[in-house]
């Protein structure tokens, strides 16, 4: 039976052709589709509608309305950069662009960072390339020098106070290396800031051994930072007994506690120690500070020599406040010194009037000559010289007149004030008066120009730790140990008798 090819009725199936979009049958191979899927026979008909010649005119108003609608559809102010929202959107777009650039330029996680050699020119004749070191020294084909392991530096253990006292006890006394030169025509007057001298330092026998040896050096010495409260003045009398010997007994004059600050650190007492077999105290008083120019009021002591009554000296001691050094030294020069000079002139006039007038003075001189009682001023020359007003006035103490407490401009101003009042510095600004390694002239003398030639000899700083430094050759260690005694060197001058 012959089987023919089956063709269903009314079917679009065409095995040898295909239908066009217009439902026309085209044999196989004869159909060619148009160039674009959007081309059709209707394209030509619609071109005439959008021809430029046939377009209606559009007004400017209608164009503005269209632009406003577009802006509203995208968001108000999207293209209008003058508005706040337009600026905000523009800023957002710029930040997004920057972020994209960073992402594109950033290295990937798996990629290693590029190492750029850094050229360091240490010598003009050659160049040395130093590479950034990596943990793997054989990476990328070149060899980097191995990194030396860091040594853990163990900090030097600070010596305790007990160890410093042991070292201090091994040192020799200052008097053994720098003995006092005995001269009948010269007395040594000194000034020392004994750092925080109180019950704690007084109870330390090692420290007191050196303090006593230093204080014995002087005929009169002015001491500062004496932290002795009221009712415990017996400690000062014990100090005077420790200094005293059978040939040179000492006595003292102690001020009341001075200091106007609420802090106890600025409260102290002034102390004058003197040899009572050579000197006597005529008067001692605190300078009244009515204008509050001083943190600690100056303390004045007036001395007279026992064997030579014509020799008198007035010492004005002061420990200036570090925060107001210039004004306090200025007050010493312009206020305290002139008032002391006026006071002594007035006293000399009164003593002259007593000594020259009346029968009582004549009878006293006559009896003195008859019975040879010359311990009283029976000699007219001694009386005249003692009341002549030529006795020196010396300003002395820890003035803090150096370092950060007093700048160069203030020093120049003080030099001018001293010159105006016929005064001179006894210790130069280049002199070191501190035990610390830094060179600062904190402690000073101020002398009168007129009386300096007659009364004042050499001035110097007593560096009691110099022999220790020479022997040990460790300056830093010796300085730290010496600070256990005090942080200031004593300053001294020779008084001509």
Which range has the worst mean pLDDT, 100-109, 133-142, 168-177?
A: 133-142
Residue 475 lies inside a defined structural domain of this protein:
yes
Q: What's the rounded Cα separation, in Å, for the pair 310 and 385?
A: 6
**3-state percent breakdown (helix, strand, coil) of the chain, nearest 5:** 35, 20, 45
Contact partners, residue 460, CB within 8 Å, separation at least 6? 491, 492, 493
Which range has the worst mean pLDDT, 155-164, 174-183, 441-450?
A: 155-164
Q: What's the rounded Cα separation, in Å, for the pair 495 and 475?
A: 33
Which range has the worst mean pLDDT, 169-178, 342-351, 403-412?
A: 342-351
Residue 13 lies inside a defined structural domain of this protein:
no
353, containing H or E segment = helix 337-356
Residue 435 lies inside a defined structural domain of this protein:
yes
Beta bridge partners of 447: 424
225 pLDDT exceeds 60? yes
Q: What's the rounded Cα separation, in Å, for the pair 214 and 385?
A: 33
Residue 108 lies inside a defined structural domain of this protein:
no
Q: For the chain, how many structural domains are there in total?
A: 1
Q: What's the rounded Cα separation, in Å, for the pair 280 and 293?
A: 30
Q: What's the rounded Cα separation, in Å, for the pair 217 and 241?
A: 15
The stretch 10-27 carries a mean pLDDT of 57
Q: Give the domain extent around 380.
A: 171-496
What pLDDT was estimated at residue 63? 58
What pLDDT was estimated at residue 296? 93
**77 falls in which pLDDT band (50, 70, 90)?**
very low
Higher-scoring residue by pLDDT: 126, 427: 427
Distances (CA, A) of 388 to 4, 70, 316, 374, 385: 167, 111, 20, 20, 5
Q: What is the pLDDT of residues 370-415, one digit of tens each?
A: 655 444 444 444 444 444 457 899 999 999 999 899 999 999 999 9
Is there a contact between 279 and 303 (Cβ–Cβ < 8 Å)?
yes
| CA nearest neighbour of 318 among 393, 234, 230, 219 | 393
For residue 332, what is the DSSP state? I
The stretch 209-226 carries a mean pLDDT of 96
**241 falls in which pLDDT band (50, 70, 90)?**
very high
Higher-scoring residue by pLDDT: 283, 160: 283
What pLDDT was estimated at residue 220? 97
Higher-scoring residue by pLDDT: 27, 240: 240
Determine the 3-state secondary structure of 72 from DSSP. Answer: helix
64 pLDDT exceeds 60? no
The stretch 10-37 carries a mean pLDDT of 57
Half-sphere exposure of 151 (CA within 13 A, CB side): 3
**79 falls in which pLDDT band (50, 70, 90)?**
very low
168 pLDDT exceeds 80? yes
What strands lie across the sheet with 423-425, from one edge to the other? 279-286, 299-305, 312-317, 393-398, 443-448, 423-425
Residue 228 lies inside a defined structural domain of this protein:
yes
- Helix axes of 161-170 and 205-215: crossing angle, nearest 10 degrees: 50
What pLDDT was estimated at residue 388? 47
Which range has the worst mean pLDDT, 85-94, 98-107, 203-212?
A: 85-94
Residue 46 lies inside a defined structural domain of this protein:
no
Determine the 3-state secondary structure of 78 from DSSP. Answer: coil
Is there a contact between 295 and 260 (Cβ–Cβ < 8 Å)?
yes
* CATH number, residue 330: 3.60.10.10
Residue 264 lies inside a defined structural domain of this protein:
yes
Residue 11 lies inside a defined structural domain of this protein:
no
14 pLDDT exceeds 70? no
């Amino acid at each position: 039976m012959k089987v023919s090819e089956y063709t269903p009725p009314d079917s679009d199936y065409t095995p040898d052709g295909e239908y066009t979009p217009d439902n026309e049958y085209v044999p196989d191979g004869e159909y060619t589709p148009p160039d674009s899927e959007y081309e059709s026979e209707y394209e030509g008909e619609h071109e005439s509608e959008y021809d430029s010649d046939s377009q209606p005119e559009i007004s400017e108003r209608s164009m503005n309305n269209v632009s406003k609608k577009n802006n509203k559809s995208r968001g108000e102010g999207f293209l209008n950069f003058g508005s706040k929202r337009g600026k905000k959107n523009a800023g957002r777009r710029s930040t997004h662009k920057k972020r994209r650039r960073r992402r594109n330029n950033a290295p990937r996680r798996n990629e290693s960072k590029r190492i750029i050699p850094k050229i360091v020119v240490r010598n003009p004749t050659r160049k040395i390339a130093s590479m950034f070191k990596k943990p793997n020294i054989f990476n990328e084909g070149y060899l980097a020098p191995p990194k030396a392991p860091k040594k853990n530096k163990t900090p030097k253990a600070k010596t305790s106070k007990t160890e410093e006292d042991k070292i201090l006890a091994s040192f020799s006394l200052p008097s053994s290396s720098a003995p006092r030169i005995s001269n009948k025509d010269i007395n040594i007057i000194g000034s020392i800031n004994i750092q925080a001298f109180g019950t704690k330092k007084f109870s330390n026998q090692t420290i007191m051994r050196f303090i006593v040896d230093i204080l014995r050096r002087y005929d009169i010495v002015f001491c500062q930072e004496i932290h002795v409260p009221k009712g415990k003045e017996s400690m000062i009398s014990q100090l005077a007994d420790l200094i005293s010997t059978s040939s040179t007994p000492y006595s003292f004059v102690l001020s009341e506690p001075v200091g106007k600050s609420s802090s106890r650190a600025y409260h102290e007492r002034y102390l004058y120690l003197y040899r009572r077999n050579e000197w006597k105290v005529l008067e001692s008083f605190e300078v009244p500070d009515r204008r509050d120019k001083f943190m600690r009021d100056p303390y004045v002591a007036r001395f007279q020599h026992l064997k030579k009554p014509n020799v008198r000296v007035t010492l004005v001691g002061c420990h200036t406040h570090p925060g107001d050094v210039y004004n306090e030294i200025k007050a010493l020069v312009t206020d305290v010194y002139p008032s002391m000079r006026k006071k002594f002139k007035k006293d000399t006039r009164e003593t002259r009037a007593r000594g020259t007038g009346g029968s009582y003075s004549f009878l006293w001189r006559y009896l003195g000559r008859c019975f040879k009682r010359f311990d009283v001023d029976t000699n007219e020359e001694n009386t005249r010289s003692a009341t002549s007003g030529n006795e020196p006035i010396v300003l002395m103490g820890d003035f803090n007149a150096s370092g950060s407490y007093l700048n160069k401009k203030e020093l120049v101003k003080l030099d001018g004030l001293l010159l105006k009042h016929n005064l001179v510095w006894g210790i130069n600004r280049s002199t070191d008066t501190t035990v610390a390694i830094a060179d600062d002239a904190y402690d000073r003398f101020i002398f009168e120009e007129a009386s300096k030639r007659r009364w004042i000899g050499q001035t110097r700083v007593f560096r009691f730790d110099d022999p220790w430094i020479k022997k040990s050759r460790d300056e830093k260690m010796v300085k730290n140990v010496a600070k256990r005694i005090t942080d200031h060197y004593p300053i001294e001058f020779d008084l001509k008798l």
